[in-house]
Structure 1
Amino acid sequence: MSKETNRLLGHADEADGIEEYDNPLPDWWLGLFWFTIIWGIAYGVHYHFIGNRSQESELAAEMAAADARWPEQAQAEIQFAMSDAAVEAGAPVYTQNCAPCHAAGGEGVIGPSFLDDEWIHGGTATEVVAVIRNGVLEKGMVAWDGILSPEQINNVAAYVLDLHMDATGRTLEDVMSEPGAADGADAGGDAASDEGAAAAAEGAVSGAEP
């Protein structure tokens, strides 16, 4: 049965003389149209209800596969060693990676200076190594662990501390002390001073008594 074609809808009077044909769509087009609707409904039901699949579950599966393929390696321990060789080896690594933020001479640009006694995260060797390894993301410093080798991190820390000691006069013993040791010593000294002052005051009061 042939379909009627080229039948005018008779809109000429309402559309400034423009005529419109009322030709039916081809059967293949209609079939494809209805097929996509039915397929879309079936796919949605299968994906979300029968197959129980979701983007979250697919992401979790992909992350698990990635973790299995590239397992996270534990941080290698760094036994800090200060030496002329370490300082010399750390200089080019510092220049390439650290100087843009801390300046070539360590005086600071965006990052803080190493040439004074004002350390934000501690100025001992242990603390400097920890900052280089783990970074300070909230202040824009990346974690260099995994980018630099443990030996390079040691050498950069040695170079930074060498700059610091040259500028401030601190000794190797100072920078090799345990974190917080200086604060503890200061606190102990303050406590001893307070106790001495209290004892002196008590003695003065006792001597003043008749």
Structure 2
Amino acid sequence: MESKSSILVTCLIFATAFQLLLPLSEASLKVGFYKKTCPRAESIVKSTVRSFVRKNSGLGAGLIRMFFHDCFVRGCDASVLLDPSPANPDPEKNSIPNNPSLRGYEVIDAAKAALEKECPGVVSCADIIALAARDASFLLGKISYKIPTGRRDGKVSINAEALQFLPAPFFNLSQLEASYAIKGISLADQPSD
């Protein structure tokens, strides 16, 4: 079981990282994207995340990590959720960085099911992951930020890309700096408010 302080440190690291990654995928996104088409979308995700994180705080850190893993590979497109299929026989989900250690799939599934009852076919899984990570950050570390929505779900997911783009847990500072540089992020970058 992870200690509360290690979960908080994980939250802070990933919250900073994905705030830096957001501009890379925000071309047509906006805060309140679902205001007219699914007004309760964000509250449904928040409620779902809260119910799971109250039972297991480690799932909160898992959701933050899932968002990071999703965004760092193909952009924030939910490609990390795709199961093997004829079109994607070996997806990111099966890659060493994600399987078996990536957690929180059941939270995303529950939020998606609730959203489909409320407003079928409207809210993307990519936005659910983003909102869930934001809500988990607040629940675990009182880290609050606005997140634009309007992402589209990807249809391609390739195992080898997760290995290629995700920073390895044993990377030193130079290797981490290089992996972030590939995504256009430098050590001088700061998350914006």
TM-score by length of 1: 0.28
Q: Higher RCO, 1 or 2 (CA under 8 Å, sep at least 6)?
A: 2
